[in-house]
A = this chain, B = another copy of it.
Amino acid sequence: MDDLARAVEAALFAAEEPMTAEALAGFLGDAAVGDVRQALRSVAQDYEPRGIHLVERSKRWHFETAPDLAHLLRREQEQIRRLSRAATEVLAIIAYHEPVSRAEIESIRGVQTSGGTLDVLMEAGWIRIAGRREVPGRPTIYATTPEFLEHFGLSSRRDLPGIAELRATGLLDPVDDAYDELMGEATGEDGADDTERSDDPEES
């Protein structure tokens, strides 16, 4: 490998911006532009099979990673997290009452709901903003999405069991709630930060 090629390689590597052959020649102390071009082509050829390529874009040269490796360099890491108890409640309320405003959700839940909870549900793709209620303040109202039905294996919201069925299955038995309370599970239901408590990374 000749000296000029090495110099060209190092200069382009250290450069903060792509450089033209002319700029390189000037930078490297009056090397002949023709020689620089030749060096560039030979270096580019050296790199062809490698994980780095030397490429020319509108007369400016720069190094970049090989395009076929792009997927390696920009990785998506998926994390599976379980929805927090508070977020699940909010989702259930939206599902049963949609479209529903935040104030309505809070009055049904009996506790304040942090904006973060709704954000999480939106990020999950299970709820959407369904417009605004035409009352003073025009609050945003929320509804579930088709992804919600899909994820929960429901063909429609009508599949959700009614109050009578809930009672029949004991799900309305206050004892459960009292029991949970005793076990300390129902603490922090102030809705302060649902997302924070949802970090059960028991999968992933």
**Distance of A1 Cα from B10 Cα, bound (Å):** 21
Known contacts A1-B50, A50-B1, A51-B5: A10-B72 contact under CB 8 Å: yes
Measured between beta carbons, the chain B residues less than 8 angstroms from A164 are: none
Chain A binding surface SS class:
helix
Report which of B5, B10, B13, B51 forms a contact with A9, defined as CB distance below 8 A: B51
Question: Which A residues, 69 to 89, have Cβ-Cβ distances below 8 Å to chain B?
Answer: 69, 72-73, 75
- A111 contacts B by Cβ under 8 Å: no
Measured between beta carbons, the chain B residues less than 8 angstroms from A65 are: 10, 13-14
**Distance of A1 Cα from B68 Cα, bound (Å):** 14
What are the interface flags for A42-86 relative to B under an 8 Å C-beta threshold, 1 for contact and 0 otherwise? 000000011110000000000101100100110100000000000
Copies of this chain, complex-wide, total 2
CB atoms of A50 and B9 under 8 A apart: yes
CB atoms of A10 and B51 under 8 A apart: yes
Measured between beta carbons, the chain B residues less than 8 angstroms from A10 are: 51-52, 65-66, 69, 72-73
- A7 contacts B by Cβ under 8 Å: yes
Most B CB within 10 A of own CB, among A7, A14, A51:
A51
- Of chain B, the residue at the smallest CB distance from A31 is B72
